[in-house]
Structure 1
Amino acid sequence: MSDAIADAKRALRAELRERRQLLTPHQREAAEQGIGEQLDALVDRLGATSMSCFLSTTTEPGTRAFVAAAVDRGIRVLLPVTRSDGLLDWSVATRDLDIAEGMFGLPEPVGELIGPIAVNDVDLLVIPAAAVDRHGMRLGWGRGYFDKTIGSMDRCPPVYAVVFDSEVLDEVPSDVHDQSVTGVVTPTQTLDLAPARR
């Protein structure tokens, strides 16, 4: 990655982090409700019975209520658990989910881990992002876990990134290792941006 791209990514991430910190509790609550409604509709549209999702931090658009509701609906939800080798393990979400701080201070499930290839069996990937552009390019938070996961899948299902409405941008800085997403879910809309992967 060139220094210019790395610098542009760093600057944009810092700006987005700062914007997220300024959201009020009411805005966060409304965003979580909207994300839940959008993800419910997406799951129904795609007919997904097994999917991956993530446990949101306090500054991310909330996904936790959706995960709990999806489990109640009988959807198998895999949650990511970071590993020191740059790969993700997965844990199946349950209604009485125990959550602990993971390797990078992120919320992660506590329980039985299934290996990195478990995600090959899902119908839908729902992943975090800092921003997504209108061509489907995703800007992550810089650790590369989801880019590696998506890039290593033989038959990747649709991949949707979750961001706030203001984080759907005209363009984000990217390099050859960055993976595009099929679409983006915000609190008010779901946008299909790139062809579904095969």
Structure 2
Amino acid sequence: MQNPAAEAKAALRRQMLAARRSVPDQTHADEAQALSDALVVFVSAQVGTGGTVCAYVPVGSEPGSPAMVDALAAAGVRVLLPVVDPGEPKPLRWAVHEPGQLIAARFGLLEPAGPRLPAGTVAEAAVLLIPALAVDRRGVRLGRGAGFYDRSLPLRDPAARLVAVVRDSEFVDALPADPHDVPMTHMVTPAAGVTELQN
């Protein structure tokens, strides 16, 4: 039998995904540019030239765009993108992002074409950009429920900044949480930019 937190999360996922699908294309594009601008400033300050950030390629109605990771790479940052292996959910592996070298992958995602790096490579990143459907004031993140980040985040550098990437309406007062949830340290929204969370 599903626990109450899981049922609440499933209902919230449906609600958030429906809201994202209703965002006009121009609004999505404008928000994507604002997110990219804010993240380049934040990541450059936190990581420095040649430092490492773990990011991901937004697809479909997700906030942001593939140009976001290109902008980070253009700022002189080493960008690692996740690679989803076949089979049961397990910690993500990573690959270095090279602009123009993305390939189609599972779940409709885009991944780098280059060599796969071990899951533990995530510990090299000073900043991790994390896809989220919502985040609350305590840093509780609502993901899509597959569990890949739940398994990957424990391998991070404990000092790394964890930034949930969301729309402004997806920053909420409170979300249901499970014991295994790793709290986000920051969020980024199009209007507010990067904001530190209280956890």
Pick aligned residue for 1:98 from 85, 93, 102: 102
Q: Residue 67 of structure 1 corresponds to which residue in structure 2?
A: 69
How many aligned positions are there?
194
Q: TM-score, normalised by structure 1?
A: 0.91
AA aligned to 2:98 is T
SS in structure 1 of the partner of residue 16 of structure 2: helix
SS in structure 2 of the partner of residue 23 of structure 1: coil
Measure, in 1, the Cα distance between the counterparts of 2:44 and 2:73.
14
Measure, in 2, the Cα distance between the counterparts of 1:67 and 1:154.
21
The residue correspondences of 1:99-114 to structure 2 (distance < 5 A) are 99-102=103-106, 104-114=107-117
AA aligned to 2:108 is G
SS in structure 2 of the partner of residue 113 of structure 1: coil
Give unmatched runs, 5+ long, in structure 2.
none
Q: Residue 92 of structure 2 corresponds to which residue in structure 1?
A: 88
In structure 2, do the counterparts of structure 1 residues 95 and 106 end up closer, same or farther at CA, with 3 Å as the change threshold? closer
Q: TM-score, normalised by structure 2?
A: 0.91
Pick aligned residue for 1:135 from 138, 141, 145: 138
Pick aligned residue for 1:186 from 164, 186, 189: 189
Relative to structure 2, which stretch is displaced further, 167-176 or 63-72?
Answer: 63-72
Measure, in 2, the Cα distance between the counterparts of 1:58 and 1:33.
15
Give unmatched runs, 5+ long, in structure 1.
none
Relative to structure 2, which stretch is displaced further, 106-115 or 119-128?
Answer: 106-115
Pick aligned residue for 2:124 from 109, 121, 125: 121
Relative to structure 2, which stretch is displaced further, 165-174 or 48-57?
Answer: 48-57
AA aligned to 2:60 is T
Measure, in 2, the Cα distance between the counterparts of 1:111 and 1:76.
14
Q: Residue 155 of structure 1 corresponds to which residue in structure 2?
A: 158
SS in structure 2 of the partner of residue 181 of structure 1: coil
* Aligned residues of 1:120 and 1:156 also touching (Cα < 8 A): no
Q: Residue 14 of structure 1 corresponds to which residue in structure 2?
A: 14
Measure, in 1, the Cα distance between the counterparts of 2:135 and 2:6.
16
SS in structure 2 of the partner of residue 40 of structure 1: helix
AA aligned to 1:108 is E
- CA-based RMSD: 1.7
Measure, in 1, the Cα distance between the counterparts of 2:44 and 2:108.
32
| 1:28-82 alpha-carbon deviations (Å, 9 max, x no partner) | 1011101011101211332442101000012011142121122122210000011
Relative to structure 2, which stretch is displaced further, 152-161 or 135-144?
Answer: 152-161
Measure, in 2, the Cα distance between the counterparts of 1:106 and 1:156.
28
* Aligned residues of 1:51 and 1:125 also touching (Cα < 8 A): yes
Measure, in 1, the Cα distance between the counterparts of 2:46 and 2:198.
15
Detail structure 1 runs of 4+ shifted over 6 Å in the superposition.
none
Q: Residue 52 of structure 1 corresponds to which residue in structure 2?
A: 54
